[in-house]
Chains A and B, each alone.
Chain A
Amino acid sequence: MKIRPRSIRAKLLLVFLGASTLPIAVLGFIFYRSSTRAVDEMVGNRAAGIARAVRAELDQRLSLRIEDRLLVANEPVQLFLARGRRPGGGVAAGALDTLGRYLDQLFEQYDEYYEELILADPGAAPLVRYERSSGAVVPGEAHPRFDPGRLTTGPGAGSGEGGPSPPHHAASPLVPEFREIERNLLQSARDLAAGEHILRIDPPEGNRAPTVSILLPVQASGDPGRRLGYLLARVRSRYLWPDDWANRRFGERGHLVILDRESGKVLYHTRPDWIGRALSQVDPDLSRAASPAAPGRVDDVARAWITGGAEGRRVAAVLESSRAPWAIVATAVPGEFAIEARQAALFNLLVAGGAILAAAVLLLFATGRLSRSIVTLTAGARRIAGGDYGGPAIRAETHDEIQALAEAFNVMSESVRRNIAMREEAAAELDALNRSLEGRVRERTRELEGLNAALNLANEQLKELDRLKSRFLATVSHEFKTPLTSIKAFAEILHDELEGLPVPDELRRFLGIIDAESDRLGRLIKNVLDLSRIESGRMVWRMADVPLCRTIEAALDGLLPALREKRLRVERDMLPGDVVVHGDADRLQEVFTNVLDNAVQASPEGQCIVIGCREEAAAKNGGPAMVRVFVRDRGHGIAPDDLERIFDRFHQVTAQGRRRKGGTGLGLAISREIAEVHGGRIWAESEPGSGSTFHITLPRATRPDAGIASFAEPPASVREPWRG
């Protein structure tokens, strides 16, 4: 199956897009759902903030600057009130004039000026009025703006001074009085800071500055607890209404109102045509919202939502001034911000989308490189898999894991290439080795074949030699037999014919020796022939089941003359029943004859020969069960060194080391050959001086009955009693 590396890009892109767009979409949805509330909150906060800011600035303007200046103005007023308090007095007019000029200088530098000054006595009855515009000093006249009831609430007004006090300045030297004044000023400043002294502010008319009416208590310099009177000043001040109020509005449709609570009139509005009119007339909804049920909340911004009206849904933040009986009302329409907010959100979404798109392109580019790297890697891997290890290394200049992988690939490829080269080299070496080995094997085989041929030839020659030897032996023995036959025949004839004739006994004995020795020579020739045939494997074995006892008895029969001659007894120690062995009956009889003949020869006259038979322990290798025949004599025994040598050819040993009479020297050798051909053994045991024992082991017949049945035909030796 062929895997396309580009599918990795698709997967990465899919994962990236999913991971980046899903949260944005969710956030956008949530934001959209909550935008109205959020915009409301935001707009309300902004409106409240504006109200706070406006009030703070207004309070600051009201409290500091004007207060400072009026405090400074307090000094000549004190002088006036202390020295000339009588109405219509020239002193008072002069003082006021001085004061006026002084104040002019003072206010001028701040672009503010007073319009009128009214001095009142401690009972708040106006003493004198000074109009700046005309320079006229009007005594004792009540001012329409001067509200005596308001004065009673002023600081120090309730100090318990029931009526006018006698002036005391006459008794006071000027210099100490000034000092008092100085102290008094400080006290007044403290009082002013704590009390309400601004009576009213008249809104600006046309391009005239608003008018501030200020009530200022005047204390006695020498006696701080004693109030000399009051100063009422009407001051026009541009500073109170800076032109930039209009900038404070919030949004296109929001606006700012400074409202006089007592009159309900608009002191300031973004729209100039509202100023001076009652708010309830121009905007009833806002008017209701701006008059909370519990007035006097100075610090809390009251928020009110106005749903009706042509403006649509809007918020009003209402804050009361701490310095004047005014309210600052900031309104805003959330609707326009909602659109803005949504537009902003949309913009944000667009920006985010663009960013995602750009990132996706970047990702595609990056994964493109990755893909190409992987494709290169794959091609390299395929090339290596295809068996091309010698090709150019895989190049991936990505400075990342891919490059590391590619380098690992290259290392692997190189390793494989080296490995293969080594293997090929080894294979070539092996091949060469094999070829040389083959050559050597061929060479060796030829040598071996030559050797084999030589060996075969040698073998053939040996066989030929063996055949020649056998033929030679056969021929020789035949050729021996011919003269031997004549010797034997004539010796016996002579021996018999001389019977009864007067021949010396010694000569007769010599003739007997010739006869016996020719017999012996005949046996020798026969033995040599037999041995040769057994060794060359040309002996014909007639293996059958042979009754052991009968064979032994037949052998003993053949030895009867010798037994009789030496008056030997034969003791039989056979197993019960007739043991049947597997073998060639004639050859086994020959073995027993040889061994028994040996015993006869070894036994002293009149002794006893024991012949017996025993069961042999079963062979370990699972061979046939064996029987052991033993023949024991009472002779002189055999020396230990000779126990094995007696089975060698032509090795005739007797106890005394004499050659045995009539032996051929081949009987035991032939017996051993015969026993071994039968799978048995023959050996001798002896204790020199007390006789020797010969043991022959033979295999038992596996089917004893068959052997007895086949023995119905008597063996040749039985049929031919004179043979051998």
Chain B
Amino acid sequence: MSKRVLICDDEPYIVESVSYVVRKAGFEVVTAEDGEEALAAARREKPDLVFLDIMMPGLAGDEVCRRLKSDPATQGTHVVILTARGQEEDERRAMEMGADEFMTKPFSPRKLRARILQLLGDPGGT
């Protein structure tokens, strides 16, 4: 069973581009459009990695991260914050919330793929 990656962003094109990179890397993709949906999907699908945007309608990404990390069911999930807010205080806050990685937009798909493989290991597909 291949590993699953949850991608949560309110911007569909970004979800699509990240999903393409994840799928090409050989992982299953689950998507969510906001925080609530992301939490529900995380509990339901038990993903191995979650990409979270911060600025989203409803629950903000860092809050979603805090809840994921405080829920025993989702505690082991890797969380990568992928945000346009690239300031240091944003990064520090994300780390405080328990995020494993902090990446800023715009991102380089090449580097994103390398990071995913580093975190989840190469499934040996492509």
Contacts and interface: CB of A to CB of B under 8 A. Distances in A.
A519 B20 CA distance: 20
B40 interface: no
**Which interface class (under 10, 10 to 19, 20 to 34, 35 or more) fits A?**
20 to 34
Contact of B14 (A489, A496, A518, A722): A489
Contact of B17 (A481, A493, A540, A722): A493
Contacts of B120: none
A526 to B, nearest CB: 7
A186 to B, nearest CB: 176
Contact of B106 (A484, A540, A716, A720): A484
B105 A716 contact: no
A485 B106 contact: yes
A716 B110 contact: no
A540 B89 contact: yes
Interface in B70-126: 84-86, 88-89, 91, 102, 104-111, 115
A482 B85 CA distance: 11
B106 A481 contact: yes
B60 interface: no
Given A485-B14, A490-B17, A478 B106 contact: no
A614 to B, nearest CB: 32
A519 B21 CA distance: 19
A486 interface: yes
B17 A478 contact: no
B105 to A, nearest CB: 4
A478 B55 contact: yes
A482 B86 contact: no
A489 B55 contact: no
Contact of B20 (A488, A493, A526): A493
A485 B105 contact: yes
A488 B107 contact: yes
A482 B13 CA distance: 9
Contacts of A76: none
Contacts of B88: 540, 716
A2 interface: no
A487 B89 CA distance: 26
Interface in B1-44: 11, 13-14, 17-18, 20-21
Nearest to B102: A720
Interface in A665-692: none
Contacts of A716: 88, 91
A723 interface: yes
Nearest to A486: B13
A202 interface: no
Contact of A493 (B21, B84, B91): B21
A546 B85 CA distance: 26
A368 interface: no
B85 A489 contact: no
A522 interface: yes
B106 A522 contact: yes
A253 B53 CA distance: 169
A478 B84 CA distance: 6
B111 to A, nearest CB: 4
Contact of B85 (A478, A484, A488, A519): A478
B17 A518 contact: no
A492 interface: yes
A500 to B, nearest CB: 14
Contact of A518 (B21, B55, B104, B106): B106
Nearest to A720: B102
A512 to B, nearest CB: 13
Given A540-B89, A723-B104, A489 B84 contact: no
A541 to B, nearest CB: 11
A308 B97 CA distance: 163
Given A478-B55, A481-B84, A526-B86, A489 B11 contact: no
22 contacts: A474-B85, A481-B106, A482-B105, A484-B105, A484-B106, A485-B17, A485-B105, A486-B14, A487-B106, A489-B14, A489-B17, A489-B21, A489-B106, A490-B13, A492-B108, A492-B109, A493-B20, A493-B109, A522-B106, A540-B88, A722-B108, A723-B104
The 8 closest A-B pairs by CB, nearest first: A489-B17, A481-B84, A488-B106, A485-B105, A485-B106, A486-B13, A722-B111, A478-B84
Given A474-B85, A492-B108, A723-B104, 13 more contacts: A481-B105, A482-B105, A484-B106, A485-B11, A485-B105, A486-B11, A486-B14, A488-B108, A489-B18, A489-B109, A490-B13, A716-B88, A720-B102
